[in-house]
Chain A
Amino acid sequence: MVAPPARGSWLILLSFMLALMLTEIPMPEVFEWGRPQWAALVLIYWVAALPHRVGPWYGWVVGLLLDILQGSLLGIHAISLALIAAIIQALHQRFRMYPLWQQALLVLVMVGLYQQLLNWGQSLQGARSDSLLFLLPSLVSAFIWPWVFVLLRSIRRALSVS
């Protein structure tokens, strides 16, 4: 009944660090509108794969770092990512059974929810968006989800992190 020691925490942390860096790396203005939400994608993967290790608190801490990094309203990324993590944690068994395209659809909804929460946070600070273009990253995120999923899964299996 003794749980095996958790291994590969460094891999989880490294992937989150890379996601944070990818989120913040400067890009031309055109691409900024469609930048995938790397942190949300990586979080969804880890919660679905290891729900007993990665949960809302992981999302909260990563979100807080994102808030500090982007200078947004403190706590808005944190609460949004924690919410995504909680939902995926509740759905993880169904999520694992879905084919990739169906997973991508759920990712679309999750990241869309995330963008909407962020937009509300921004409008609290006075920077309201006047078009629905702010939802573009959720489409892009859903589109690249299969690649992110396969990549992270193969790395996780190769290093047998569970």
Chain B
Amino acid sequence: MTLIVVLSLGLMLTDLFWSPMAYYRGYLSLAVTPLRWLMDLPPRVLTSIDQSLSERDELQVENDNLRADLLLMARKLQRLDSMDNENGRLRKLLGVSKQLDQRVLLAELIGVSADPFSHQIVINKGFGDQVYLGQPVLDEGGVMGQVVEVGPYTSRVLLITDAQHAIPVQVNRSGFRSLLLGRGSDQELLLDHVPDTADIKVGDRLLSSGLGARFPKGYPVAEVVEVIHDPGQPFATVRCQPTAQLDTSRYLLLIFAQSATPVLAPETPQASPKVSTLNPPEEES
């Protein structure tokens, strides 16, 4: 029993204070990968049975809907293309390095953390697919979270609602910047240190600001649902709701953000090593 206690305490201390442990936990996850695969089997089989048994006209309707969606998206994309070009030209005029289009990878959800205190999910891509620690994860609604553990075949994603998570954001309308903190509750996020005079209203959209060099700039993160000005409090309380479908998305996107150099890179060479230390391997909290 003494040996067990010593071993466990040693493991806990390494896990808490030795940051490279995050890499090795990825290898440990190999031990439970077969178990995960087994657990994911029933829903997978059910889905495939459901698909093979569904009616032809049902499929037809779904197909039509998807076609309509595709058309809508294509129209949006056409506008986006021209705007992208224009943006590129303006950036060139300003002498700013052009932001490249980001590479994405489609991943599938295979597990949800059973612990109500931790908001984490497990996806079916690992370092075999070049997933890396701290990689941003999105769904069609917006930012979902970031990768905190990479195994050979699976990775673990910390959601933005987890109490350990914070993401730098910017109000789309006014440009006001702040940190959006997870609260450990499913549908609630809190903006940190908002002065009572800040320009922020219910219904404002919060986009990732790209500060901190972890999340790419400009993806929707949350929407403001409540602003409370209490004279007794030093700051306003701003409650937000994530725009991503954190509890229903089964397919998610992994974004390969370009290297952590800021858009306005300083030209002096001695400043560059400082930039690289901005992005340590440990998780952002």
A121 to B29, CA, bound (A): 20
With a CB–CB cut-off of 8 A, which chain A residues contact B9?
75, 79
With a CB–CB cut-off of 8 A, which chain A residues contact B5?
79, 82
Which of A23, A73, A75 counts the most chain B CB atoms within 10 A?
A75
Chain A residues numbered 65-119 whose CB sits less than 8 Å from any CB in chain B: 65, 68-76, 78-79, 82, 86
Interface size on A, residues (CB 8 A): 38
A72-B115 in contact given A21-B38, A60-B4, A82-B8 (Cβ < 8 Å): yes
Question: Does A4 sit at the interface, judged by CB under 8 A?
Answer: no
**Contact call B118/A127, Cβ cutoff below 8 A:** yes
Per-residue interface assignment for chain B, residues 153 to 164, with 1 indicating a CB less than 8 Å from any chain A CB and 0 otherwise: 000100000111
With a CB–CB cut-off of 8 A, which chain B residues contact A17?
35
Per-residue interface assignment for chain A, residues 15 to 54, with 1 indicating a CB less than 8 Å from any chain B CB and 0 otherwise: 0010011011111010011010000000000000000000
Question: Between A and B, how many residue pairs show CB distances below 8 Å?
Answer: 109
A127: which of B15, B28, B117 is its contact (CB, 8 Å)?
B117
Question: Does A122 sit at the interface, judged by CB under 8 A?
Answer: yes
Question: Does A126 sit at the interface, judged by CB under 8 A?
Answer: yes
**Contact call A72/B118, Cβ cutoff below 8 A:** yes
A134-B15 in contact given A21-B38, A65-B31, A71-B149 (Cβ < 8 Å): no
**Contact call B4/A57, Cβ cutoff below 8 A:** yes
Question: Does B120 sit at the interface, judged by CB under 8 A?
Answer: yes
A20 to B39, CA, bound (A): 10
A74-B163 in contact given A26-B114, A79-B8, A134-B117 (Cβ < 8 Å): no
With a CB–CB cut-off of 8 A, which chain A residues contact B163?
126-127
A118 to B35, CA, bound (A): 22
B4: which of A56, A69, A122, A127 is its contact (CB, 8 Å)?
A56
A20 to B38, CA, bound (A): 11
Question: Does A129 sit at the interface, judged by CB under 8 A?
Answer: yes
Q: Which partner residue on chain A sits nearest B39 by CB separation? A: A21
With a CB–CB cut-off of 8 A, which chain B residues contact A127?
117-118, 162-164, 184
A57 to B285, CA, bound (A): 34
**Contact call A70/B114, Cβ cutoff below 8 A:** yes
Q: Which partner residue on chain A sits nearest B182 by CB separation? A: A127
A20 to B118, CA, bound (A): 18
Question: Does A154 sit at the interface, judged by CB under 8 A?
Answer: no
Which of A64, A68, A71, A125 counts the most chain B CB atoms within 10 A?
A71
A73-B15 in contact given A68-B25, A79-B8, A82-B8 (Cβ < 8 Å): yes
**Contact call B8/A65, Cβ cutoff below 8 A:** no
Give, as a whole number of angstroms, the nearest-CB distance from A84 to chain B.
Answer: 12
B8: which of A69, A75, A134 is its contact (CB, 8 Å)?
A75
A69-B32 in contact given A60-B4, A74-B25, A129-B117 (Cβ < 8 Å): yes
A122 to B120, CA, bound (A): 14
Question: Does B73 sit at the interface, judged by CB under 8 A?
Answer: no
A57 to B186, CA, bound (A): 36
Give 16 A-B contacts (CB < 8 Å), ordered by A residue.
A17-B35, A24-B36, A26-B112, A56-B4, A65-B35, A68-B29, A68-B31, A69-B32, A71-B25, A71-B113, A73-B12, A73-B15, A73-B16, A75-B15, A76-B8, A127-B184
In the A-B complex, the 5 residue pairs with the closest CB atoms: A75-B11, A79-B8, A74-B15, A75-B8, A26-B112
Known: A24-B36, A70-B118. 16 other contacts (CB 8 A): A32-B115, A60-B7, A69-B36, A70-B114, A71-B25, A71-B113, A71-B120, A71-B148, A71-B149, A74-B25, A75-B7, A76-B8, A78-B4, A78-B8, A79-B5, A127-B163
